[in-house]
Structure 1
Amino acid sequence: MVYSGKDKIRRSFTWKGRTQANGGSCLVAWERVQRPLEYGGLGILNLEYMSWALQARWLWFVKTEPDRPWKGLDIPIHPNAIALFNTAVVLHVGNGSNTLFWTDKWLFCVGVLAPFVVAAVPLKVREQRTVLEAITDHEWPTDIQGVLSLIGPYEYFQLWDALHDFALSDANDCHEWRFDKSGIFSSKSTYQALFNGSVVFEPWHRLWKT
């Protein structure tokens, strides 16, 4: 694994108390050291994981506070942060004005139900078309450009049937963060979620208390 400059300094300080240390001084793999205490680590912050959590926070603000002045800027976001966000956010569609038709996971994920149809929609349209705009007067088929592949027409009619009885309401779209009990995004809960699936070190509390 390639460590950043800050990680090398933190690793060296942890084991030798100085800015540089050779590999033989490191008694435990740095990835394991950075795990939370309950997973057998030393609880030292994983900078890469934390950066993904903070980038997911930008995506959360784009959804929940669209009036922020930096919305629309080309902010670089790691693919892992995007995947994390798409997994964690739960969309409850009201009027559909703040949910993207082609890319968000709302009633269902259009990209999963009809991937070949989505591929025929220009990227710029996918990133801008809201559910409200797409559903009103059945505008979404006008986004499709070019000829669909062999399976494309089948996916098209599947999508049409899935949307047939869908209706919008007067309420605002609601976004819920599934990693926090409050339903509101927090960097802490998002960072912790990145360790989900790790083996829990049962006696960690007694060990650290001692």
Structure 2
Amino acid sequence: MCAMLLPLGFVGTYDAQRRAFLWSGEQQTSGASCLVAWDRVCLPKEQGGLGIRDIALQNQCLLLKLVDKLHHPSDSAWATWVRQRINILTLEGDVHGAHWASLRDLLPLYRAITTVTLGDGRSVSFWEDI
């Protein structure tokens, strides 16, 4: 698995190439060629944008999806295997790699946008979970 937050330098370079292609069809373009602000271009069509995906946001959402899989292991053999090797509350354990730091960094956001339904209390962190 190679899942990590994309470096900001990469996102900036990639977005610059996408902007250049969109506005000029070339690999590079000046700001004068851009007809609409990039933030506006990345809005959904229903909100007046062009529906082009924000790569940084897309990357973060896909990583949050992995964190969610870890919290619902019945849906994934990978998540079941990983849960046997880590502490689900901290994502610390017998796993190594830079991608785990990226997933750990997203835990506060994941906790902020999810809720926990109490069952038997074995998988709830009363101090961390909402």
Return the TM-score normalized by structure 1.
0.44
Whole-angstrom distance in 1 between the partners of 2:116 and 2:27? 46
Corresponding residue to 1:94 among 119, 123, 129: 119
Taking structure 1 as reference, are residues 35 and 68 closer, same or farther at Cα in structure 2, changes over 3 Å only?
farther
How far did 1:82 drift?
3.9
Residue 76 in structure 1 maps to residue 102 in structure 2: yes
Aligned pairs for 1:21-170 (under 5 A) are: 21-65=29-73, 66-69=79-82, 72=86, 73=95, 74-77=100-103, 81-105=106-130
How far did 1:83 drift?
4.6
Conserved in 2, the CA contact under 8 Å of 1:52 and 1:78?
Answer: no
Deviations 1:19-43 (A, max 9, x none): 1001100111101101111111100
2:6 counterpart residue number: none
Q: Which amino acid aligns with 2:102?
A: P
Q: Which amino acid aligns with 2:12?
A: S
More helix per residue: 2
Q: Give ranges in structure 1 of 5+ residues lacking alignment.
A: 106-210
Conserved in 1, the CA contact under 8 Å of 2:111 and 2:129?
Answer: yes
Taking structure 1 as reference, are residues 94 and 78 closer, same or farther at Cα in structure 2, changes over 3 Å only?
closer
Instruction: Determine which structure has greater relative contact order: mean sequence separation of CA pairs < 8 Å that are 6+ residues apart, divided by chain length.
Output: 1
Conserved in 1, the CA contact under 8 Å of 2:64 and 2:110?
Answer: yes
2:23 counterpart residue number: 15
How far did 1:78 drift?
7.9
Taking structure 1 as reference, are residues 83 and 31 closer, same or farther at Cα in structure 2, changes over 3 Å only?
farther
Taking structure 1 as reference, are residues 36 and 78 closer, same or farther at Cα in structure 2, changes over 3 Å only?
farther
Deviations 1:73-123 (A, max 9, x none): 3341485x4454223212111011222232111xxxxxxxxxxxxxxxxxx
Taking structure 1 as reference, are residues 84 and 37 closer, same or farther at Cα in structure 2, changes over 3 Å only?
farther
Whole-angstrom distance in 1 between the partners of 2:48 and 2:115? 31
Q: Give ranges in structure 2 of 5+ residues lacking alignment.
A: 1-8, 74-78, 87-94
Percent identity between the two aligned chains? 29
Kindly tell me the number of residue pairs found equivalent between the two proteins: 103
Tell me how large the CA RMSD over aligned residues is.
2.2
